[in-house]
Structure 1
Amino acid sequence: MVHDGTAARFDDGAGGPDVRRPACRDRSGGRAARGLTGGPGGPGTAKKVGMNAGTTLDAAVVVVGGGTAGAIVASRIAERGDRPVVLLEAGPDFPDPEATPPVLRFGAYSEGRVTTRDYSWKWETVLTADGGTPYTLHSGKVIGGGSSINGQVWLRGLPADFDGNWAGRGAKDWTWEHVAPWYAATESDLDFPARGDAGPVRVRRVPPDQWHPVHAGFVEACLANGFSHCPDLNAVGATGVGPQPFNNVDGVRLSSAFSHLLAARAQPSLRVLGDHHAERIVFDGDRAAGVVALGPSGGEIMVRAEQEIVLAAGALGTPWLLLRSGVGPAGQLARHGIPVVADLPGVGGSLREHPQVGVRWLAKREVDQTSARAPVALRLTAPGSRLQDDLKVSIAAFEDGTGAGIQASVFLMLALGAGSLTLARDPRERPLVDLAFLSDPEDRRRMREAVRLTVDLVESSAALRPFVGTRLSPVDAELAGDAALDAWLRRTVQGTFHPSSTCAIGEPGSPAAVVGQAGEVHGVRGLRVVDASVMPDSVRANLNATVAMTAERLAAALLRS
């Protein structure tokens, strides 16, 4: 594999990750492994580390956010053992499987269903120009972050996401050739080992003999309509219908808290502080010198960083923290009376998400809610679209206040419209999140085509006829014309809990660029971003695999700096 000299600084040794290194293996004599596969246990016990107000801690590196990216980066630094690292997580810290609540530890194959309860940030958002249905965007507020509450779909981005969108927007060191080895190094695919067999995240698919008849019928319907069978949706060029890959093995959710952080906790150089919310970054001139955090009792502590502060608070939390700390658009900061440390117009801009709508039918017979979720999916290109595989459709049972039935979820996997995150009138309050769904005419056209295609696919299927009854939404009148269907789309569109791109990689001076190729924040020293914020655009996949890949790659860059 050939890499240019610039890219080489991201890659270990001869241009790629060293897949021979121990990848956060179990060092507990089997205790951790037994904990991962044991019974449901009790409600879980968070580790409480109460710092007295006014306490000052010192570390070489401070990582803000213990989610997918933060747990990975902190673990990789701790494994080296040559620099103290403090990991700050705003939610609770469950230090081992036995202490982890069953709702976090055990996850069904449940795309579209997140574990909200007490372990989620609840971001209120504006969906469309006319408001749309109220939508609360959930992101993980617990050790492991989004990987502890999500649907566990482990889809890779497409080569075109990186070679076209990312590189074309300034991420020149993030082509498919650069990132493919890091996807492989992150995972161990139990079904297709050639995809990666030495990484810490185990991946598998639900075998056909465990599918509900609704899923088997959906696959049959797709094949009957000319779509190809695709046993591995992570293969290069994969398109068509097949089983989705999940980072869930034997019913256990392989969050970053388990796949990476569990083994790294044995390192004395790592300190994890749960229930510590980062309030602001403290600068000494243009150097990020420390983080002020609020502890469980509400008192402030200071964590000073000798070398670097690494932000991994997520695509909403990271720009919010930067803005409160004086890094962002100078005009916006001035309006809030925040001294400007670095004028970076791109902070909070270009917010991306995956819009989705649900086509719903009454069920002719009872469908078990647990078994009939979404182990299979159709990856396809919208009719007339220039973007390959820009849609995904999955089918599942639903049950809510409107009743119970069957839903085909239609996902626009690469929207052209972009939203924004800006400070509220009081910067301490939650920021204003505008997703700007369906703001681009081509997004509306592709979603119309996708909904009509999905209705035809399901309602023409003999295999689904025993299960699918009367269509509830959209009704025939809403399908009859573009204007009526657009109105339905605006009224029903929701997100997928996949925000990204609010602190994008790019060259210095580019209006949208916030960080450089290795995640270093432009205009300041000692500050880096490693989460989904840095994506120049979304990817045509659920985000967790790409966030993990990005964090592994940026951790390697940090360790060489």
Structure 2
Amino acid sequence: MDKVFDYIIIGAGSAGCVVATRLLEANAGSVLLLEAGEPDSSIFHKIPATVVKVFQQKSWPYMSVPQQHCNQREMILAQGKVLGGGSSVNGMIYIRGQRQDYESWEKDWGCQGWGYQDVLPYFKKAENNESLSDQYHSQGGHLPVSENRYRHPLTLACIRAGQQMGLKYVNDFNGWSQEGVGFYQTTTKNGERASVSQTYLKSVKDNPKLTIITQALVHKIEVENDIATGVIYSIADQAPIQVKAKQEIIVSAGAIGSPKVLLLSGIGPKQQLAQHEITCIRDLPVGENFHDHLHMSVNATIKDPISILDEDQGLKALKHGLQWMLTRSGLLTSNILEGAGFVDSQQQGRADIQFHFLPILDNFDNTPGEKEAAQEHGLTIKVGHLQPKARGRVTLRSNNPKDLPVIDPNYLGHSDDVAGNIRAVQQGLKMFQQPALQAIIKQVTEPAQTLPEDGDAIEAWMRQNIKTVYHPGGSCCMGVDPQKSVTDLQLKVHGMKNLRVIDCSICPQVPSGNTNAIAIMIGERGADFILNP
């Protein structure tokens, strides 16, 4: 294998695959794409409804440290570890956040040139939307964005209940205003998941200038005189391999992986690196500003056995499997998280609460040992606050690249986050009180026997039940001040040459909603910065 490439990309996730594709399309040179996970070859990566299987099997087993504001609970923080990264294991929801998020990046975080009108062209560049084609959408991109073909009656009931609460029905959560209730658009095509691996990367996979290496654990980036020159990695515990980059090294390993790689390379807080006997090359706040969206599952059992419980068992599973194999239709084309709600609970002119509707009782990602999966028919409204203020950090466990980092998100470490998530639960309980759901619900089981007005009971339940919704960001924050940020506004690491971070770790504040479309936008924009310096 070649040992010298023009570009080395660390991480073949949602941003990394986009960058690799755009560099090759522009004939910018040879590209080495390093991915710690395996190829996304399983059929479960293709079937939308098997999201739970791939998420649990193809993710980094990250856990938080005990969270002091959440009853000392350790929480699962899984992130995709497979070709395609998060886009190969996620819920396929296409959400860009709100225009106010990007205006805030400019106004509050000093990120000039990252306002809404600056990022919108890159969302559109990525997108191939099957039904929307106004000033917010396009058809020219690699990423299929589709209407969901399967709509479960429980999801429909939630959407009717949202309208009974006063939310308007929305066809497009990515237009001028996000507020309302409706169905998510998804990154699927013809009943299959459309990950960046199967869209972007597939379009260039036969390019002789592309080298993809899976099961590649990056040990460090090599730096000479503040110039990033190469990468040391190993495959499946074998001897370390050294490769060189003539042009640039791009770190796209996500909000947990990217800070880990930089810290191992001597880029980060000097004091922390000294504890692990790593020489500090550049003293930057790597791993700081880490934050995430949280959610809780507000659950109710239902009168009739119509949820998707046990649809993956026996003859039912066979029927659904055959329907999907032969016609790419039916339940298996569902991303399960079919329906959405965005609520402005404070009349602030933008939504601060997000709902995901599930036609089953959600027990998929509980911390091990906390709860048994409910074996009853029911439905879940996942509720959460969209603009977290608490900040945590990602730090090294040791200087051994095999060791997972230490992650302390400091969940609920800000009073506004506590209040916001209480409001989220209150809104979910109010939805259960609407006629469309009252007609089918047997009883609300979580939080049980709790009125929306009982803030104290909701808070106690919340601290025991809140968990991540897997939207981490901020840990390699962009900005103009090297004391407060890691990259500049072109995503170059401060004080370094030939080194960029391109993924959601650069977000000073994670946008309001699911983050995959945002990672892809950042990949498009980052590639543009490389190609048009």
Q: What is the TM-score when the length of structure 2 is the normalising length? A: 0.88
How far did 1:389 drift? 0.8
Quick one: structure 1 residues 363 and 395, their matched pair in 2 at CA, closer, same or farther if it must change by over 3 Å?
Answer: same
Q: Judge which range, 426-435 or 406-415, deviates more.
A: 426-435
Say which SS state the counterpart of residue 281 (structure 1) adopts: strand
**Equivalent in 37, 42, 45 of residue 101 of structure 1:** 42
Match of 1:244 in 2: 184
C-alpha distance in 2, partners of 1:416/1:158?
A: 17
Q: Judge which range, 213-222 or 138-147, deviates more.
A: 213-222
Match of 1:402 in 2: 374
Matched, 1:128 2:67: yes
How far did 1:253 drift? 0.9
Q: Is the 8 A contact 1:84 1:270 kept in 2?
A: yes
Quick one: structure 1 residues 276 and 387, their matched pair in 2 at CA, closer, same or farther if it must change by over 3 Å?
Answer: farther
Say which SS state the counterpart of residue 171 (structure 2) adopts: coil
Q: Is the 8 A contact 2:362 2:380 kept in 1?
A: no
How far did 1:394 drift? 2.2
Mark the runs of 5 or more structure 2 residues left unpaired by the alignment. 312-330, 364-372
Matched, 1:348 2:322: no
Q: Is the 8 A contact 2:215 2:236 kept in 1?
A: yes
**Equivalent in 168, 171, 174 of residue 108 of structure 2:** 168
Q: Is the 8 A contact 1:501 1:533 kept in 2?
A: yes
Match of 2:321 in 1: none
C-alpha distance in 1, partners of 2:176/2:219?
A: 42
Match of 1:542 in 2: 514
Say which SS state the counterpart of residue 378 (structure 1) adopts: strand
Q: How does 1:261-276 map to 2 (within 5 A)?
A: 261-276=201-216
How far did 1:130 drift? 4.5
How far did 1:250 drift? 2.0
Match of 1:506 in 2: 479
Say which SS state the counterpart of residue 246 (structure 2) adopts: strand
Q: Is the 8 A contact 1:395 1:407 kept in 2?
A: yes
C-alpha distance in 1, partners of 2:53/2:280?
A: 37
C-alpha distance in 2, partners of 1:438/1:109?
A: 31
Q: How does 1:272-291 map to 2 (within 5 A)?
A: 272-291=212-231
Residue identity opposite 1:546 in structure 2: I
Match of 2:341 in 1: 378
Q: Is the 8 A contact 2:297 2:362 kept in 1?
A: no
Match of 1:523 in 2: 495
Match of 1:200 in 2: 142
Match of 1:491 in 2: 464
Say which SS state the counterpart of residue 76 (structure 2) adopts: strand
Match of 2:370 in 1: none
Q: Is the 8 A contact 2:106 2:113 kept in 1?
A: no
Match of 2:328 in 1: none
C-alpha distance in 2, partners of 1:170/1:532?
A: 17
Q: What is the count of residue pairs matched by the alignment? A: 494
C-alpha distance in 2, partners of 1:447/1:109?
A: 29
Alignment deviations for residues 384-435 of structure 1 (CA, whole Å, 9 cap, x no partner): 6x47211111221126523332111002121111121112255542111112
Matched, 1:142 2:85: no
Alignment deviations for residues 248-303 of structure 1 (CA, whole Å, 9 cap, x no partner): 12221111101111111121111111111111111112111110001134221011
Matched, 1:416 2:379: no
Q: Judge which range, 367-376 or 179-188, deviates more.
A: 367-376
Alignment deviations for residues 140-161 of structure 1 (CA, whole Å, 9 cap, x no partner): 1111011000000011121100
How far did 1:355 drift? 0.6
**Equivalent in 72, 82, 88 of residue 18 of structure 2:** 72
Q: Is the 8 A contact 2:6 2:246 kept in 1?
A: yes
How far did 1:560 drift? 2.2
Q: Is the 8 A contact 2:14 2:86 kept in 1?
A: yes
Matched, 1:461 2:400: no
Matched, 1:440 2:414: yes
Match of 1:21 in 2: none
Match of 1:392 in 2: 354
Match of 2:366 in 1: none
Residue identity opposite 1:382 in structure 2: S
Say which SS state the counterpart of residue 86 (structure 1) adopts: strand
Q: Is the 8 A contact 1:478 1:488 kept in 2?
A: no
Q: How does 1:296-307 map to 2 (within 5 A)?
A: 296-307=236-247
C-alpha distance in 1, partners of 2:261/2:484?
A: 18
Q: What is the TM-score when the length of structure 1 is the normalising length? A: 0.84
Quick one: structure 1 residues 169 and 149, their matched pair in 2 at CA, closer, same or farther if it must change by over 3 Å?
Answer: same
CA-based RMSD: 2.0
How far did 1:485 drift? 2.1
C-alpha distance in 2, partners of 1:348/1:88?
A: 21
Mark the runs of 5 or more structure 1 residues left unpaired by the alignment. 1-50, 95-99
Q: Judge which range, 478-487 or 425-434, deviates more.
A: 478-487
Match of 2:368 in 1: none
Quick one: structure 1 residues 354 and 82, their matched pair in 2 at CA, closer, same or farther if it must change by over 3 Å?
Answer: closer
C-alpha distance in 2, partners of 1:535/1:167?
A: 14
Say which SS state the counterpart of residue 327 (structure 1) adopts: coil
How far did 1:383 drift? 3.0
Tell me the percent identity. Answer: 27
Q: Is the 8 A contact 2:69 2:411 kept in 1?
A: no
C-alpha distance in 1, partners of 2:50/2:100?
A: 27
How far did 1:475 drift? 2.1
Residue identity opposite 2:58 in structure 1: Y
How far did 1:480 drift? 6.3
Say which SS state the counterpart of residue 443 (structure 2) adopts: strand
Q: Is the 8 A contact 2:70 2:412 kept in 1?
A: no
C-alpha distance in 2, partners of 1:383/1:174?
A: 26
Residue identity opposite 1:408 in structure 2: I
Q: Is the 8 A contact 2:165 2:434 kept in 1?
A: no
Q: Is the 8 A contact 1:127 1:436 kept in 2?
A: no
C-alpha distance in 1, partners of 2:227/2:8?
A: 14
Matched, 1:89 2:35: yes
Q: How does 1:152-167 map to 2 (within 5 A)?
A: 152-167=92-107
C-alpha distance in 1, partners of 2:389/2:69?
A: 18
Residue identity opposite 2:513 in structure 1: A
Displacement over 6 Å in runs of 4+: none
Q: Is the 8 A contact 2:3 2:242 kept in 1?
A: yes
